[in-house]
């Protein structure tokens, strides 16, 4: 009934397409199109006619799935559509008639109503059919891109700090998102195993190392040496530049020997590397994080000569009076110039970064590059991108926000012992706190593998606390929040999943195909749950487009709350078969959606706690 009011057909000219809120599951969205440039768009009488126009269309454009709060009714402001009509691809009759779809034009709006029973049926069918792909299937990429996500990237001779933890967690999720829609993802850990800090640590080792301590806890001992030698520097130079410290100069000297290939230094360097890597790998395993390529900064030290050569050749390189080579930056006032080579000819962090990414570009032929690094390195990445752009690397023309995936700082992370030094202490403490709360809970059933379960839940708590807000916001770490049993935490989500699993296996009935959906949508808590599940594909797509994991985390928390409400008001056990079946179907689907969210977030959903 588009033209009952003449206003509608006349008001379709020349305006941008805009959408009001909306509401359907992703499957239905894929049937809805905005039809652009319909010929003779005046005088459309009903949907049959719209369909005829659809067939004559010049151009059909799928709608953007940009849905913030769906409901089973959605509204399109047709006065905003330029030469457009709304149609359903090839199935208007079906939508308007038999399945109970209603389309009503009302003062400039076209309201399309999806009946509740059909809405519920379609959502649940879709989840059952897509299983672990529910959510990601609708965002499948139309062209496979080669994407490199670089994350974690700690420094070998310095402690792994909480910024590296954030990078590890966020980079892992972004890689999962991109892989889930079919892209080819290189997960790179760019190890900072080169630089002056290494000279200082070597000096610390020769001055103070205690072999026994090094053997029993090398992570702690290396850290102590790092602290001691830096204290020496500080006490010598005071407020003046560290260059004035003899210790610092000695450290630089050792590093220069390493750069020149001194055998003794190489052995020391390798020892520190091996010890640190062994420790890092233990942590990655606990966090459930993996990489396809571990690339070390040191391996690009030799290749920096090519970079310098290319920059000279393209006329980008300039030298100052001290012989330092640099590239002029447009925003030099705020971020300084981009130094490429020191006066003694040795390379810098930026130079090695350029060498490494040019190499990756050659090997992987990248369409996109995402560096997941804290926002403190913004200036570094602006310089890097500027230079790569000048060297005609294709993706370097993109905005810096697509390349440098920045994140905020974490404040107040500390253990019972005091300030946090090692990530392993945070994970250990999360585990022991989780085990304490589990033991205090009467319903806890695991005992033989409580350590393993405690560790998985502990990791879930740390990860979800980290991912729950916008990645660029700073956040204050809180154990109480991270381990809150009642809401919005890792332990809350794991319990919700495990409870569903035990209910599904212990309710005395199993799911058949014959479910009366009317028994679902007439129950408010079940309907709300289904309704929320229908949103997942859109939430997934938001997270993917914005590279923002918090969309999924917030969605997951709400999902678990709705499950808990439905769980307490809609028991399955002891109910008449038809009711039990209907509820079981909803719970089965919701367990699937919880698991899908968790897996994308890099978490292991537990079946039994």
Q: Which residues bind ligand ARG (CB under 6 A)?
A: 150, 153-155, 190, 192, 353, 371, 373
Q: Nearest residue to ligand ARG, using CB?
A: 192
CB of 427 to ligand ARG, least distance (A): 19
Residue 473, helix vs strand vs coil:
coil
Which candidate in 36, 113, 161, 599 is catalytic? 161
Which residue from 52, 56, 50, 41 is spatially nearest to 6, judged by alpha carbons?
41
The tokens for 163 are 């910024």
CB of 151 to ligand ARG, least distance (A): 9
Which residue from 158, 117, 68 is spatially nearest to 538, judged by alpha carbons?
68
> Rounded CA gap, 98 and 473, in Å?
49
What residue has token string 């709300």?
528
CB of 154 to ligand ARG, least distance (A): 6
Which ranges in 182-331 belong to alpha helices (H)? 196-208, 211-216, 218-237, 246-259, 263-287, 304-313
Nearer to ligand ARG by C-beta: 150 or 455?
A: 150
CB of 351 to ligand ARG, least distance (A): 11
Render 142-180 in DSSP notation, one character per residue. Answer: SS--EEEEE----BTTS---HHHHHHHHHHHHHHHHHHH
Compute CA 100 distance to the chain's CA centroid, rounded to the nearest angstrom: 39
Let me know: does 152 contact 164? Beta carbons within 8 Å.
Answer: yes
Nearer to ligand ARG by C-beta: 409 or 558?
A: 409
CB of 377 to ligand ARG, least distance (A): 7
The burial of 458, by beta-carbon neighbours within 10 Å (0-12 exposed, 13-18 middle, 19 or more buried), is given as buried
The burial of 174, by beta-carbon neighbours within 10 Å (0-12 exposed, 13-18 middle, 19 or more buried), is given as buried
Nearer to ligand ARG by C-beta: 163 or 204?
A: 163
Which ranges in 181-217 belong to alpha helices (H)? 196-208, 211-216
Let me know: does 329 contact 335? Beta carbons within 8 Å.
Answer: yes
Nearer to ligand ARG by C-beta: 41 or 304?
A: 304
Residues 6+ apart with CB under 8 A from 120: 517, 520, 521, 527, 530
Which contiguous run of DSSP H or E holds residue 341?
strand 338-341
CB of 348 to ligand ARG, least distance (A): 11
Which candidate in 27, 164, 183, 531 is catalytic? 164
Nearer to ligand ARG by C-beta: 192 or 490?
A: 192
CB of 46 to ligand ARG, least distance (A): 59
The burial of 528, by beta-carbon neighbours within 10 Å (0-12 exposed, 13-18 middle, 19 or more buried), is given as middle
Nearer to ligand ARG by C-beta: 135 or 192?
A: 192
Number of Cβ within 10 Å of residue 417's Cβ equals 9
CB of 349 to ligand ARG, least distance (A): 7
Nearer to ligand ARG by C-beta: 36 or 380?
A: 380
Let me know: does 120 contact 84? Beta carbons within 8 Å.
Answer: no
CA distances from 304 to 298, 300, 347, 360, 366 (A): 10, 6, 7, 14, 20
Nearer to ligand ARG by C-beta: 146 or 604?
A: 146
Q: Is 158 a catalytic residue?
A: yes
Q: Is 94 a catalytic residue?
A: no
CB of 373 to ligand ARG, least distance (A): 4
> Rounded CA gap, 424 and 278, in Å?
13
Q: Is 31 a catalytic residue?
A: no
Which candidate in 27, 65, 121, 158 is catalytic? 158
CB of 309 to ligand ARG, least distance (A): 21
Residue 190, helix vs strand vs coil:
strand
Nearer to ligand ARG by C-beta: 404 or 535?
A: 404
The distance in angstroms from the start CA to the end CA of the chain is: 56
Nearer to ligand ARG by C-beta: 26 or 200?
A: 200
Strands 293-296 and 184-191: parallel
Active-site positions read 158, 161, 164
């Amino acid at each position: 009934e588009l033209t009952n009011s003449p206003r509608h057909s006349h008001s379709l000219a020349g305006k941008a397409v805009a959408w009001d809120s909306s509401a359907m599951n992703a499957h239905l969205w894929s049937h809805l199109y905005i039809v652009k440039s319909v010929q003779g768009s005046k005088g459309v009488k009903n949907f049959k006619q719209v369909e005829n126009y659809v067939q004559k269309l010049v151009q059909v454009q799928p709608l953007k799935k940009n849905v913030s709060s769906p409901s089973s009714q959605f509204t399109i402001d047709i006065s905003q559509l330029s030469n457009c009509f709304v149609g359903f691809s090839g199935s208007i009759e079906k939508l308007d008639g038999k399945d109970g779809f209603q389309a009503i034009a009302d003062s400039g709006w076209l309201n399309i109503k999806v009946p509740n029973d059909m809405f519920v049926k379609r959502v649940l069918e879709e989840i059952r059919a897509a299983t672990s792909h529910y959510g990601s299937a609708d965002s499948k990429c139309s062209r496979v891109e080669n994407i490199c996500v670089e994350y974690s990237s700690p420094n070998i001779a310095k402690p792994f700090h909480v910024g590296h933890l954030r990078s590890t967690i966020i980079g892992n999720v972004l890689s999962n998102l991109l892989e889930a829609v079919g892209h080819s993802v290189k997960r790179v850990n760019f190890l900072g195993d080169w630089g002056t800090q290494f000279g200082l640590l070597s000096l610390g080792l020769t001055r103070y190392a205690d072999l026994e301590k090094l053997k029993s806890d090398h992570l702690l001992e290396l850290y102590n040496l790092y602290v001691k030698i830096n204290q020496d520097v500080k006490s010598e130079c005071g407020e003046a530049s560290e260059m004035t410290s003899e210790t610092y100069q000695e450290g630089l000297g050792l590093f220069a020997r390493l750069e020149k290939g001194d055998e003794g230094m190489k052995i020391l360097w390798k020892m520190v590397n091996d010890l640190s890597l062994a420790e890092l790998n233990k942590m990655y395993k606990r966090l459930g994080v993996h990489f396809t390529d571990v690339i070390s900064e040191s391996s690009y030290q030799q290749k920096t000569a090519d970079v310098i050569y290319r920059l000279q050749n393209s006329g980008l390189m300039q030298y100052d009076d001290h012989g330092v080579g640099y590239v002029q930056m447009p925003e030099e006032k705020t971020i300084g110039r981009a130094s490429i080579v020191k006066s003694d000819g040795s390379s810098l962090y930026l130079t090695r970064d350029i060498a490494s990414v040019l190499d990756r570009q050659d090997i992987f032929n990248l369409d996109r590059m995402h560096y997941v690094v804290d926002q403190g390195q913004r200036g570094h990445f602006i310089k890097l991108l500027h230079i790569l752009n000048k060297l005609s690397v294709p993706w370097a023309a993109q905005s810096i926000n697509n390349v440098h995936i920045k994140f905020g700082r974490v404040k107040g992370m500390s253990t019972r012992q005091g300030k946090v030094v090692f990530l392993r202490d945070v994970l250990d403490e999360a585990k022991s706190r989780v085990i304490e709360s589990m033991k205090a809970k009467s319903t806890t059933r695991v005992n033989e593998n409580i350590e393993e379960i405690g560790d998985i839940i502990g990791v879930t708590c740390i990860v979800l606390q980290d991912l729950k807000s916008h990645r660029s916001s700073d956040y204050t770490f809180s154990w109480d929040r991270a381990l809150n049993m009642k809401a919005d935490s890792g332990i809350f989500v794991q319990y919700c999943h495990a409870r569903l699993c035990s209910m599904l296996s212990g309710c005395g009935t199993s799911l058949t195909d014959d479910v009366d959906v009317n028994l679902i949508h007439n129950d408010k808590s079940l309907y709300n749950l289904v309704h929320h599940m229908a949103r997942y594909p859109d939430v997934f797509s938001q997270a993917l487009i914005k590279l923002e994991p918090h969309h999924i985390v917030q969605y997951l928390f709400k999902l678990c709350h709705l499950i808990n409400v439905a769980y307490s008001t809609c028991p399955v056990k002891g109910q008449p078969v038809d009711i039990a079946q209907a509820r079981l179907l909803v719970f089965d689907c919701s367990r699937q959606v919880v698991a899908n969210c968790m897996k994308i977030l890099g978490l292991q959903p537990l079946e039994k706690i």
